[in-house]
Amino acid sequence: MSWLHLLRSWSLRSTRRGSSRICLGCLSFGLAERRWGLSEDQSRPIIKRAIEGGINFFDTANAYGNGASEEVLGRAVHDYARRDEVVIATKVYSPMRADPNGRGLSRKAIMVEVEASLRRLNTDYIDLYQIHRWDDATPIEETLETLHDVIKSGKARYIGASNMAAWQFCKALQLADKHCWTRFVSMQPHYSLLYREEEREMLPLCESEGVGVIPWGPLARGRLARPWQEEPDTLRGRTDDIGADLYARTQEADKIVVDRLTSLSQTRGIPHAQLALAWLLSKPVLTAPVVGMTKPQHLEDAFAAVGVKLSEDEVKLLEAPYVPHPVSGL
């Protein structure tokens, strides 16, 4: 059973070795090219408050702001925490340069990018080094052996995966076992009340294989943080093309789910975001949702969600309207 899998029942402010039940997603930090992104000065108070509140798990990627997110996180962790008391996760795959070796999961790309991430994060090691996508252009054997070498060199402690089909992840786990390479300990899939396709194959696979699950998009790009709106009223909602693509085809079905969430929010007097996160945290297979934040209130909602408990009837109320969705996020 994996390191992350064992942590799923721990409290936010755990005194035992491991990660918090909320992972702070760092996509928006230093993301100057997107109008809803935060500058470093805006990002640092959120990271500082997260650490003060008990969050010690941070997820970023080399491609976020072309490395800017890693730099912001690295400097903030240096100033606000002891390195060995936090868990830093980052990712590799996305284009970082225009040349053919500036992307993907080849041996050359990984070896270059892990060194670059270490420099930007201002650290000697990465706690969780994740592949951001499946790379059709590179044999998975090459990727796995290279990641094993990254682990053996001490540049990373564990490896994880994200955004792939269950058959691909199963193949990677089987090959790692066959060749005695380091196994993936985590999967970061797209998963929320509005997108539950991972319940069909990926989550049961992770449960069976002892793999920790740290889902992204737990609030569906803000759609689970407020009553249903036909037109987004936030800057990110109006300019986030990725979010529009993920949920544009399922609005009628999604509205019913959000309306159920609104009804429960009014009944219990608890904000939408806290209930949506509490629903995720009620799932035994989940270790920690990766929650992105651009405002202090987002952080306070995440803190509070850890203490919200849903009854079986409330879970059924929220889940009942869901209908199959087109696969997305891979």
Which of 143, 140, 135 shows the shortest CA–CA distance to 103?
135
Taking every pair of Cα atoms in the chain, the longest distance, rounded to a whole number of angstroms, is 55
pLDDT band at 4 (very low <50, low <70, confident <90, very high): low
64 is catalytic: yes
Q: Which of 64, 158, 247, 322 is catalytic?
A: 64
Q: Is the pLDDT of residue 14 over 50?
A: no
Q: How many residues does the chain have?
A: 330
pLDDT score recorded for residue 17: 46
Over pLDDT 70: what percentage of the chain? 87
Q: Are strands 87-92 and 57-59 parallel, antiparallel or unpaired?
A: parallel
In CATH terms, 5-319 corresponds, of 3.20.20.100, 3.30.565.10, 3.40.1410.10, 3.30.365.10, to: 3.20.20.100
Tell me the whole-structure pTM to 2 decimals: 0.91
| Secondary structure element (H or E) that encloses residue 90, with its range | strand 87-92
pLDDT in tens, 269-298: 999 999 999 999 999 999 999 999 999 899
Q: Is the pLDDT of residue 18 over 50?
A: yes
**Measured in whole angstroms, how far is the alpha carbon of residue 298 from the centre of its chain?**
15
- How far is Cα 87 from Cα 84, in angstroms, rounded to an integer? 8
pLDDT score recorded for residue 237: 54
Phi then psi for residue 241, to 5 deg, are -65, -35
pLDDT band at 36 (very low <50, low <70, confident <90, very high): confident
Residue 203, both tokens: 């989550």
326 within 8 A of 159, measured Cβ to Cβ? no
315 within 8 A of 300, measured Cβ to Cβ? no
pLDDT score recorded for residue 9: 39
Beta-sheet strand order (sheet of 87-92):
212-213, 184-188, 156-162, 126-131, 87-92, 57-59, 23-25, 290-292
In the block, which residue shows the tokens 């990727």? 143
Q: Which residue has the higher pLDDT, 36 or 23?
A: 23
Domain ranges in the chain? 5-319
Q: What is the mean pLDDT of residues 38-43?
A: 94
Q: Is the pLDDT of residue 12 over 70?
A: no
pLDDT in tens, 62-119: 999 999 999 999 999 999 999 999 999 999 999 898 888 889 999 999 999 999 999 9
pLDDT score recorded for residue 95: 87
Q: Residue 182, class by beta-carbon neighbours within 10 Å (0-12 exposed, 13-18 middle, 19+ buried)?
A: middle
Q: Which DSSP string corresponds to 226-294?
A: SS--SS--SHHHHH-HHHHHHHGGGHHHHHHHHHHHHHHHHHHT--HHHHHHHHHHT-TTBS--EEE-S
pLDDT in tens, 191-201: 999 999 999 99
